[in-house]
């Protein structure tokens, strides 16, 4: 049994997790983390390749059979930690505020157990440690660096993410589980003038304000009730002082959707509204649209999800496997299986002390009392989160690789 030796591995896994938490690294700068991963995988007997700068892939071949790919993200966030943990971040202004250190540790644990338990499965097991998930660039960097040609083509791909739900539980769902996200930088143009002479200007601040208000109608009046969309103007920047009317304004807009058709409708509406308001204001030139930090839809394959969910229920007990609610957060994992053209499933891993979560749930104060991802107080409990994360990866992999054994 592959998981029989898990308890003996938890000591070093806790040490790895604490070490990663103390030494977080920002997106595309995960060099220390990558080196740690490479050394561990090589010691476990994996064929190790660096792909996409700080991305690391380990491949374990074990005869003929199916191929599974499991992914963990590795980057941290520019957040100053406030948890007070004994293993808190030692890097000023940077912390693992989204649990990627837990993802790395759990997948390393699964990698070792799969290597030592090769008599229980056949095929190939690929573990992929992806950088720069937080900025939506890491999976693209690995794909652009030839990932598809450099590792065995999987039959199925998996990933998990620690979330502010009770530790010891796993949440799964078929279909969309994380939204697609588009960040859009829009620059609109006016005509600058002295603040005392507004009649000499075309005021881009007023123009931008009109755009902000009009964009709110996309969800309320152009999106079908029941369809999901979020349009957020996160920043509006213009001018330098009170008595100068500037010649341009910049808006930063974020769009979240679960459906590619809805996404296309929303993006078209944004462009139409911006161009229309610019025309109405007499803008001297066309607006500029620049996309950045784009994340694809995470859309779980129903057949794969059903199979993995059944394996989780058989292993952990049905009470530990709960339905996942769609999250408005976004991920770039799906670019990897999409590049191979293979199905995938992405599940949520509980990370909150079960007693604390139960008490907050009973009081209706989960949102208030339980720190969410990206909070400076976000801190998954190591036990049982780490153990469950390792087991989940192994159980999912064996649901495909242990056939016929």
Q: Which phi and psi angles does 402 have, rounded to 5°?
A: -95, 5
Neighbours of 283 (CB within 10 A): 20
Extract the tokens encoding 338: 């999409």
Signed CA dihedral, 50, 54, 55, 56: sign only: positive
- pTM for this prediction: 0.93
CB 138 within 8 A of CB 52: yes
Extract the tokens encoding 334: 């799906």
Q: Which DSSP helix (H) or strand (E) runs through 236?
A: strand 229-238
Strand partners of residue 67: 124
CB 68 within 8 A of CB 126: yes
Extract the tokens encoding 251: 């808006």
pLDDT, position 1: 84
**Closest of 223, 247, 226, 251 to residue 237, by C-alpha:** 251
pLDDT, position 404: 58
- In angstroms, the CA 2 to CA 60 distance is 15
219-249 residue pLDDT tens: 999 999 999 999 999 999 999 999 999 999 9
| Contacts for 398 with CB less than 8 Å, ≥ 6 apart | 2, 120, 121, 311
Extract the tokens encoding 57: 């892939």
pLDDT, position 405: 60
- In angstroms, the CA 281 to CA 301 distance is 47
Ranges of residues in the chain with a pLDDT under 70 are: 404-405
pLDDT, position 111: 98
pLDDT, position 184: 97
- In angstroms, the CA 376 to CA 78 distance is 10
Strand partners of residue 51: 55
Judged by phi (left if over 0) then psi (alpha if -120 to 50, else beta), residue 20 lies in alpha
Instruction: For 298-333, give the DSSP string.
Output: EEE-HHHHHHHHHHHHHHH-GGGEEEPPPBS---ST
**Closest of 241, 256, 236 to residue 188, by C-alpha:** 236
Instruction: For 43-59, give the DSSP string.
Output: HHT-EEEEETTTEEEEE
Question: What are the helix (H) ranges across 23-168?
Answer: 31-44, 100-116, 138-144, 147-150
Judged by phi (left if over 0) then psi (alpha if -120 to 50, else beta), residue 136 lies in left
CB 248 within 8 A of CB 196: no
């Amino acid at each position: 049994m592959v998981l029989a030796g898990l308890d003996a591995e938890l000591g070093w896994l806790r040490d790895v997790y604490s070490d990663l938490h103390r030494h977080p690294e920002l997106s595309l700068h995960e060099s220390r983390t990558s080196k740690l991963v490479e050394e561990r995988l090589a010691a476990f007997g994996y064929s190790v390749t660096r792909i996409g700068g700080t991305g690391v892939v380990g491949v374990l071949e074990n005869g003929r059979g199916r191929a599974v790919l499991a992914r963990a993200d590795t980057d941290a966030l520019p957040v100053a930690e406030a948890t007070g943990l004994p293993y808190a971040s030692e890097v000023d202004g940077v912390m693992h505020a989204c649990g990627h250190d837990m993802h790395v540790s759990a997948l390393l644990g699964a990698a070792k157990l799969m290597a030592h338990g090769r008599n229980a499965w056949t095929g190939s097991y690929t573990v992929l440690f992806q950088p720069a998930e937080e900025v939506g660039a890491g999976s693209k960097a690995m794909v652009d660096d030839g990932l598809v040609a450099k590792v065995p083509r999987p039959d199925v791909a998996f990933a998990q993410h620690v979330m502010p739900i009770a530790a010891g539980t796993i949440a799964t769902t078929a279909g969309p589980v994380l939204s697609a996200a588009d960040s859009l930088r829009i620059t609109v143009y006016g005509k600058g003038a002295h603040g005392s002479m507004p009649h000499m200007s075309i005021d881009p601040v007023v123009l931008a304000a009109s755009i902000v208000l009009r964009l709110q109608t996309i969800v309320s009046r152009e999106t079908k009730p029941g369809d999901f969309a979020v349009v957020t103007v996160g920043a509006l920047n213009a001018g330098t002082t009170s008595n100068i009317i500037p010649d341009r304004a910049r808006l930063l807009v974020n769009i979240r959707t679960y459906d590619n058709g809805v996404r296309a409708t929303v993006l078209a509406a944004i462009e139409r509204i911006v161009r229309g308001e610019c025309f109405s204001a007499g803008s001297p030139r066309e607006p500029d649209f620049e996309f950045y930090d784009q994340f694809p839809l995470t859309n779980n394959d129903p057949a794969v999800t059903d199979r993995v969910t059944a394996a989780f229920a058989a292993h952990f007990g049905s009470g530990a496997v709960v339905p996942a609610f769609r999250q408005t957060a976004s991920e770039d994992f799906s670019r990897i299986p999409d590049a191979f053209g293979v199905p995938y499933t992405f599940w949520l891993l509980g990370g909150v002390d079960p007693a604390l979560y139960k008490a907050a749930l009973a009081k209706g104060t989960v949102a208030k009392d339980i720190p969410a991802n990206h909070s400076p107080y976000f801190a998954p409990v190591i036990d049982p989160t780490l153990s469950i994360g390792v087991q989940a990866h192994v159980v999912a992999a064996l649901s495909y690789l242990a056939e016929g054994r």
